[in-house]
Chain A
Amino acid sequence: MTPDVAEGSALLKERVTFALFDRAARTVKFLLPIAALLLVWEGAVRAGLAESNILPAPSMVIARAIELLDVTNPAGGMLLTHIATSLYRALSAFAFAVLVAIPLGFLLGLSGTVYRWVSPVISLLLPLPAVAWTPILLVAFGQGDVTIITVCFLGAVFPVLYSTIQGVRSVSRQSVWVVRSMGANFGDIFVRVMLPATLPALMSGLKLGMAHAWRTLVAAEMLAALSSGLGYMIFAARSYMDVPTMFVGIVCLAVIGMLIEHFLFVPLENATTRKWEGAIHVGGRR
C-alpha cells in the first residue's frame, strides 16, 4: 500500500463518517421540536392541567404501545396486524388510484373535448368528502376490504388526477412545436417533453394522493368497522373508552404517514424532479 492510497482511504473514511454524522445531526434537529412538544404535553398531564383519561401523557401512550407490541401478551402483536392491514388497504387503494388517474389525467389534459364533457362531473364529485361515500358503498359492496379500498381510492384519485391534468396543461405548446418541427414522433414527444414537464406536478399529486389515501383510510375503517385496521382499533378504543389505545392508534397513523413521505416520496422526488429543476432557488434543496 502506497502512502498515497492510504491517505486517500483515510480521507474517504473521514468523509463517510462526516456524512453519517451530518445525517444524524439533521435527524436530531428534525426531532427536536417534536420532542419539545411531547415534553410540554407530558408536563401538562403530570401537572394535572389535563386529565389522563381524556388526554393521556406520552409516556402512558408509549407504555400501552409496548404492551400491544408484546407478542407474549394475549392481545400482543395485535398492533402489527392492524398496521399491516391498514397499509395493505391504503397502498392498494393508492396503486389503483395511480393506475386510473394518470392515464385519465393525460387523456383529459390532452383532449379538450373530453375535458369539457367529463370535467363537470368530476368537479362535482371532487368536493365530496370521501367519508360521505362510505354509507353508499357499504350498501353496494357490503362490509369488507372492497368498500374500504374503494373509499380510499376515491380519496386518492382526485388529487392525482387533478395534478396530472394541471401538469399536462402547463406543458408549453412551443416546446411541443419545436420538437415536432425537428421531426419527433408522438412517442418521443411524450417521453422527452410531456413526461419531464409533467413530473413536478405529478409528484406533488402523488404525494397528496398518498396522504389522502392514508387519511381517508382511518375514517373509512371507522365507519365500515370490520375487525382489523388502525381505524377500527381507534373506533373500538373510542367506543370502550380505552383512551391510551386510541392514542396509540393516532400516533401510529402520524408516524406511518411521516415515514411514507420520507422514505417513499423524498427519494422519489430527488430522483425525478430535481434532475430537471434549476438549481438556483431560494430554499435550495429541501
Chain B
Amino acid sequence: MSADATILAPVRSRPDIRRLSLSIARPLISIGTVFLVWEVAARAGWINAFLFPPPSAIAATLWQELLSGELLQHIGRSLYRLLTGMALAVVFGTLIGIAIGMTAWGRAIFKPLISAFMPVPTLAWTPVLLLLVGINDRTTIIVVFIAAAFEVIYTVVSGIEGMSVRLFWVARSMGASRQQIFWKIILPGIMPYLITGIRLGSGYAWRALIAAEMLAASSYGLGFMIFDASEYMTMEVIYGGILLIAIFGYVIENVIVGRLEAATVEKWGVQVAR
C-alpha cells in the first residue's frame, strides 16, 4: 500500500503557479455556477424568492448578523461543543477500540453493546441524557461524543485487525515486553487509522451536533440559529445557517483534519483505504 501512496501522491517538487491557481479557481467556478443559477432563478421569479431567497440576499443577512456579533456567538458555541465532544471521543474511542482489537474480554463486552447502540438515533438519547446530566451544554457535547466515538472505535479496530500478526511474532521473539509492544508497535500502527477515524468522526459529529442543536434543547449554536429562524420564518437566516454549516464542515473535515491526515501519510507512508 505504501507504494500506491507514493504513486498517487501529487508531485510537489516544483510548485507550479499555474497549476496552483487552477486548483483554487476550479472549486470557485464549479460552486460559483451553482450559486449563479440559483441567484438568476430567484431574481427571474422561476422559484419563489421568499422560500428560496437569492444567495446575494443570504450573504447580506449573514453580514448583518456578523456585524451584530450574534453570528460569532452561534459559531463559537457550536465549535466549542464540537471540539470538547471530539476530544472525549478520541480518548475513549481509542481506548475502547484497543480493548476490542487486543483483548478477548473487550470484544465480548463492547462489540454487542456497540452494535446495539449504533443504530439508535440521536434524539433517542435526549430522555436518557436529561436524566443523567440535565439540560445544558453537556447534552449536546455528549451527543457529539456518541456520534464520533463509534467512528473512532471502528477505525481503530480495523487498524489493529489490519496489522500483520508477523509483526508481533517478530517483536515477541526478540523479547519485547507487552508494554513495548503497545508503545512501539500498536500505537504507531494505528495512528494513521486513528486520524482517518478522527476525520470521518468529525464529519459525523458535526452533522450530529447540528441535528442535536435543532432537535434537542439548546440555546446558541448554528443548529439552534436555523431552528429559531424557522420560528420567525426568516428564510435568509435558515439558508445562511445551512451554508455556514456546509462551509465549516468542509473546513473541519478536509482542511484541518485532512492536512493532519496527509502529514501522517507522508510520515508513515501509509494510506488508509476508507
Contact = CB atoms under 8 A, between A and B. Distances in A.
A37 to B, nearest CB: 7
SS class, residues of chain A in contact with chain B: helix
B226 A132 contact: yes
B260 interface: no
A37 B113 CA distance: 9
A129 B215 contact: no
B245 interface: yes
Contact of B118 (A120, A121, A123, A257): A257
A11 interface: no
B238 interface: yes
A116 interface: yes
A207 to B, nearest CB: 10
A219 B123 contact: yes
B27 interface: yes
Contacts of B248: 127
Given A120-B30, A283-B157, A132 B119 contact: no
Interface string B98-110: 0001100000111
B131 interface: yes
B67 interface: no
A233 B55 CA distance: 37
Nearest to B210: A129
User: In which size bucket is the chain B interface?
Assistant: 35 or more
A261 to B, nearest CB: 7
Interface residues of A, number: 63
Contact of A163 (B51, B215, B242, B274): B274
Nearest to B7: A173
Interface in A256-275: 256-258, 261-262
Contacts of B26: 116-117, 120
Nearest to A281: B161
B112 A33 contact: yes
A190 to B, nearest CB: 18
Contacts of B31: 120-121, 124
Interface of B: 1, 3-4, 7-8, 23, 26-27, 30-31, 34, 48, 51-52, 101-102, 108-113, 115-121, 123-124, 127-128, 130-131, 157, 160-166, 168, 203, 206-208, 210-211, 214-215, 226, 230, 238, 242, 245-250, 252-254, 271, 273-274
Interface of A: 29-34, 37, 50, 54-55, 116-121, 123-132, 135, 139, 163, 166-167, 169-174, 200-201, 204, 211, 214-215, 218-219, 222, 234, 243, 246, 250, 253-254, 256-258, 261-262, 280-284, 286
